[in-house]
Structure 1
Amino acid sequence: MNKDPKLAIVFPGQGSQTIGMLDNLITIDKKAREIVNIASDILGYDILKIISDGPKEKLDSTEVTQPAILLTSYVTWLLWKHESNAIPSVLAGHSLGEYTALLCADIISFEDAIMIVSERGKYMQQSVPDSTGAMAAILGLDDSLIEQLCSNAAEDEIVSAANYNSPGQVVVSGHKNAVNRMINLAKNAGARRAILLPISVPSHCALMKDTANKFSKLLDKITFNNAQIPILQNVDAKLKTNAADIKTALIKQLYEPVRWVDTINEIHRIGVTKIIECGPNNVLSGLIKRIEKSFELFSISDRPSLDKTLI
């Protein structure tokens, strides 16, 4: 296999899930189903049945969504890897997708990855009382203005930028009342859209610090290896291969923002021209187009789309 300095692979996060997202993939190679069965054994429930048949409310619950997306993205990676002789120069994932990047870079094992994201989902779900946390998408405002509006909206609560997804598209996170105040301020400031998202867990903000402390104790029990493929992590968009550095950034990721714009700009800076998205729904490809239009973009969801990446 040959390292391709112009190739990066990225993995999506929570919100990309759809019913049936694995159905076309597991028909490509029987080994895919074996991987799915291992995941079900680890989780203690039939995750393929939930992914294939729902109900949607079950698939959308954080503790199920996280292993489901990681599993789908990892199966996609394995199918591509089986048929390609290329090694990407860098891997990156958006929020939850960072764990898939760690897995594909051989930093953590598959068994540990499934367990970690399942527990991460539970920790996050339990982090704040029901209906007290929220996230909102703000479109059409500069990052600096959004940060200032968050400061104004916070009062004695927490609201801050959680995802810098693309120019003019930022997700904010925090206490529900503060997020609602932020929505009103954003609309008054001329935002094209400012909408509450159907998410009760306020990810990537200071409300997750206690969860991060608890989560770090879980990670202390996990073996982290140096990366076989460099990864870009969400908290600082810097290339890493050292296991200790990667683990530290992973803990911070729970309460610090996802710097996706910086990540894609760094991928561009190091000379990558082709990006493959391994995971459901093409969400990242859409964001990447808004950040840097020069990339050749591919997304794998079935046999024909897999074949296109191999040309």
Structure 2
Amino acid sequence: MNKLAFIFPGQGSQYVGMGKDLVHNYPIAREVFEEASEALGFSLEKYCFDGTMEELSQTEITQPAILTVSVAAFKVITNETDLVPSLVAGHSLGEYSALVSAGVISLADAVRLVHKRGRFMQEAVEQNVGAMAAVYGMDKEIVREVCLSASKDGHEVVISSYNSPEQVVISGHRLAVEQAGASLTGMGAKVIPLRVSAPFHCALMASAGERMRKELEGQVFGSFTYPVISNVTGRPYDRSDEIVQNLTDQITLPVLWSESMKYAVEHGISSVIELGPQTVLRNLMKQNAPDIHACSFGESKDLKAVQEVIAKQQTAEPDKLLFIIRCLAIAVCTRNTNWDNEAYTKGVIEPYRKVQHMLEELESSGGQPTMEQMREALTMLQSVFTTKGTEKEEQQERFEQIQRETRTWELFPQLAEGILEAEPVVL
């Protein structure tokens, strides 16, 4: 099964000139930059195209800048090709880019949020108090034990990111990070101090997390167009109401990137495209899942590398199990306007639970859904739409979305015309 994932980079992937090629060659990328700059009240092009690395590396500038370049790359890819991901994920800051791509947060809201996120993280710790370092070639359990031993006298160091089986990142008080780094080096690990303005993803960021929670609690979130993997769980969000807690926890808890990529592999992802500056995550895929075809897209010349992914997706078989999964996910995320408890139970809860039980049995047995089971999932979703009072236009958009993501146009050709009652094609 040829499933595709989009992944988005985090802080550290910035460079002067990023996004310039996209803006020069694609009007839609320029529109992204213009929208982001207007939302922020200052020009991101100034920092990304003409600024210095020192200016661009200020955390409160870096974060909205990387997010904007990543979203611009996403817009170009989806505008220039027919590629539709089965899931998306982003590393740390990149999770916000993933949420924008899935339609959960608007670009304008996202850049404002991460601009504040960067400032809150910068202000959480005085300069030179904290530090971070990448550790290569050492078992994570050993790194964890060394961090525990180095954490004393009020100084703490922890693993802040599980990037791959070969690489973790440690973060905390500078003295503890340096001591842990020296110990790990003596044990044969390669330790590289990172040039960062604050120690991310550790307890020193607690005040930034609380400030960010207040910002997130005032945010309106949309429905998920496709699954987004959370950094703190290594699994997709189940509900929109998890977003505030997960993005708050993300600031102080480690990034489970290796676990996230393991989930992607276990759920059939065979191709990955990194959208944004640099190729950090693409390179990590070689360690996390060497059999996955990974490429990156951050400049127009990178489109050539995407052609192989396009070819794979064009020859992919319909994903029948994902069809059931997406029907359930959209049923959950669709906004409700009907508060009649009896009608809601009969029109939403009961049919949803029936299809959910069916999916659990399929996943347990490893079987593929029959056409009758797929039709039952569609009927459930139609019942949910009707009961919740979903507009016809949104219903049609959601049905078309499911067909794009699961490549099931030929199985239910009439669905594209909004005719749910028609018999499915049996292939």
SS in 2 for 1:273: strand
Match of 1:213 among 190, 210, 213: 210
Task: Note the C-alpha offset of 1:215.
Answer: 0.8
The structure that is strand-richer by fraction is 1
What does residue range 55-134 of structure 1 map to in structure 2 within 5 Å?
Answer: 55-134=52-131
Provide the rounded CA distance (Å) in 2 between the counterparts of 1:257 and 1:42: 30
State how far apart, in whole Å, the 2-side matches of 1:104 and 1:172 are.
29
Q: What is the CA-CA distance between 1:224 and the residue it aligns to? A: 1.4
Count residues in correspondence: 307
Other-structure match for 1:165? 163
d(CA) in 1 for partners of 2:66 and 2:224? 21
Equivalent residue in structure 2 for 1:224, among 212, 221, 224: 221
Deviation of 1:5 (Å)? 6.2
Check conservation: 1:5, 1:89, Cα contact below 8 A: no
Does residue 39 in structure 1 map to residue 36 in structure 2? Answer: yes
Conservation of the 8 A alpha-carbon contact between 1:226 and 1:243? yes
Of 40-49 and 111-120, more deviation after overlay is shown by 40-49
Of 248-257 and 235-244, deviating more is: 235-244
* Alignment-mate amino acid for residue 160 of structure 1: V
Write out aligned runs for 1:145-164 (5 A): 145-155=142-152, 156-164=154-162
Q: TM-score normalised to the size of structure 1?
A: 0.96
In 2: Cα distance, 1:168 partner to 1:248 partner: 29
**What residue in structure 2 maps to residue 177 of structure 1?**
175
Higher RCO (CA-CA < 8 Å; seq separation 6+): 1
State the Cα deviation string for residues 185-223 of structure 1 (Å, max 9, x = none).
Answer: 1112221x1122111311001111221111100101110
Show the counterpart of 2:260. 263
For residues 5 and 240 of structure 1, what CA distance do their matches in structure 2 show? 22
Counterpart Cα distance in 2 of 1:248 and 1:5: 33
* Counterpart AA for 2:71: Y
Q: Which has the larger radius of gyration?
A: 2
Partner-residue secondary structure (3-state), 1:240: coil
- The yes-or-no answer on 1:136 pairing with 2:133 is yes
CA offsets 1:82-105 (integer angstroms, 9 cap, x no match): 122232110000010000001111
Tell whether the 8 Å contact from 1:226 to 1:241 is kept in structure 2 after alignment: no
Tell me the percent identity.
37
**Matches of 1:246 and 1:217, distance apart in 2:** 13
Tell me which amino acid in the other structure corresponds to 1:287: L
Task: Give the aligned residue type for 2:117.
Answer: R
Equivalent residues of 1:5, 1:88 under 8 A apart: no
With over 3 angstroms needed to count, the CA separation of the structure-2 counterparts of 1:217 and 1:69, relative to structure 1, is same
Quote the offset at 1:263 in angstroms: 0.7
Question: CA shift at 1:70, angstroms?
Answer: 0.2
Return 5+ residue gaps in structure 2 as ranges: 312-427
The structure 1 segments of at least 4 consecutive aligned residues displaced by more than 3 Å after TM superposition are none
The residue type equivalent to 1:273 in the other structure is: S
Q: Is 1:204 the counterpart of 2:201 in the alignment? A: yes
Of Structure 1 and Structure 2, the greater helix share is in 2
Q: CA RMSD in A?
A: 1.3
Normalising to structure 2: TM-score of the pair?
0.70
Structure 1, unaligned stretches of length 5 or more? none
> How far apart, in 2, do the equivalents of 1:293 and 1:197 lie?
26
